[in-house]
Amino acid sequence: MAFVGLCDCNNFFVSCERVFRPDLERKPVMVLSNNDGCIVARSNEVKALGIKMGTPLFQVRDLVKKHNIAVFSSNYQLYGDMSARVMNILRQEVPDIEVYSIDEAFLNLEEMPLDTLQPFARRLSARIRREVGIPVSIGVSPTKTLAKIASKLCKKYPKLQGGCLMYRKQDVEKVLATLPAGDVWGIGRRTNAKLKALGVETALDYYNMKQAEVYSLFTVTGLRTWKELHGEACIGFEDVQPDRQTVCISRSFAKEMTTLEELDAAISTFTGKVAEKLRKDHLCAQQMSVFILTNRFREDAPQNYQIKNTLFEVATDDTLEMSERAAQCLKQIFRRGYAYKKAGVMCTRLVPKRGVQASFLDTIDRDRRASLMDTIDAINKIEGNYTVRLASQGEMDQFSARTMTSRRFTTNWDEIMEVKI
């Protein structure tokens, strides 16, 4: 029997903050979205207070004050670096990993003997906590879906010491009986609503359904999840992430923008970041969309939402070309008299850079531009983001209200932790 593991960082954003603030261990902590608007990460202590994920901060300010909750703005540079450290350790320990998100990765354990799996998971969990400072839960099972469930058990039961092996039929059924069907990976909101209408409340109820019934109601996708719960691996292991389908950068602004000049600086900055992401992933975009919208929560202000799509004759990752086109799109959709709260740039119809089809009518020297972009990326990587940028661009942080951001302890020499002795 082959096994797969799922390493999940516990309350990841909160855990990253606690690494450098050990005084916050066992105290309520939460992290906010880009514009300090909504809660995107909560410690167990905050969850115990009944505060839900995605709750706007203004709705719980009284609870924050009453329970002395530590509140942080999102610090994605710190979180990204801490994630890379965790993933690096995983790559040292197993032959292949599949990075699923910033705080999760599947582990290929098919060559490991059964009796070594649980001790290995616990040792690996302890190593990550010791070397990175992040608590993780490692679930091990014959399928990805069961491995995810096993990792949840680690979070619920500290006595598992960060590693849980779950494969015996009686153990699986016992756990599924306590798990709501909607909490199973692969069962979405619509499927869960259908299941509830049928009286299927728990994961065990779903597990006990007839295979033919599952297929007739939920087709191949639902049947795949059902089989995974029965220990039949249906979701393949990939040690390389599939190519992106879209790249999008958007922000809600700290204050509303009413002029074309203000929005132009934001759109130019977002476009530059999108182009940088494309180059990092060796992709080019055939289509780009620019969108702007007003604050939908302001009933006293007129509302407006605009989007403009544009096609490139030759798929591109060139900041200069994309920024010029984005500015043209913005001019076409901007309307005076409105206060815009959010804007963004999204690229779709992505293709691998090596497969871009050229055009005889192309007026851009692609090789020369590619060399320029490589040089800009290299300088910014060494000297810091936005060291070299277009005159029309600003910095990402100026377009979002993040007033409670911790220092970038691991990526910026000027913000490194100081120890006084």
CATH code for the domain of 176: 1.10.150.20
pLDDT band of 399, cuts 50, 70, 90 = low
Does 222 map to a domain? yes
Is residue 145 within 8 Å of residue 184, measured between CB atoms? yes
Last residue of a domain, one of 193, 215, 242: 242
Write out the residue range of the structural domain in which residue 304 sits.
247-399
| 395 shares its domain with 286 | yes
Distance CA 216, CA 212 (A): 6
Does 182 map to a domain? yes
pLDDT above 80 for 395: no
Q: How many domains does the chain have?
A: 3
Query: Quick one: 300 exposed, middle or buried, by C-beta within 10 A (0-12, 13-18, 19+)?
Result: exposed
Average pLDDT of every residue of the chain: 92
Give the Å distances, CA to CA, from 377 to 280, 319, 345, 383.
Answer: 9, 11, 20, 10
Tell the residue number behind the tokens 């699986």, with chain if given: 172
CATH code for the domain of 80: 3.30.70.270
Q: How much is the pTM?
A: 0.74
Task: Kindly report each contact of residues 230-235 with a partner whose C-beta sits within 8 Å and lies 24 or more positions away, as own/partner.
Answer: 231/141, 231/142, 231/143, 231/146, 231/167, 231/169, 231/172, 232/142, 232/143, 233/2, 233/4, 233/142, 233/143, 233/144, 234/143, 235/143, 235/144, 235/145
What's the length of the chain?
421
pLDDT tens per residue across span 86-130: 999 999 999 999 999 999 999 999 989 999 999 999 999 999 999
Is residue 140 within 8 Å of residue 129, measured between CB atoms? no
| 310 shares its domain with 383 | yes
pLDDT above 70 for 241: no
Last residue of a domain, one of 119, 141, 167: 167
pLDDT tens per residue across span 133-174: 999 999 999 999 999 999 999 999 999 999 999 999 999 999
| 207 shares its domain with 286 | no
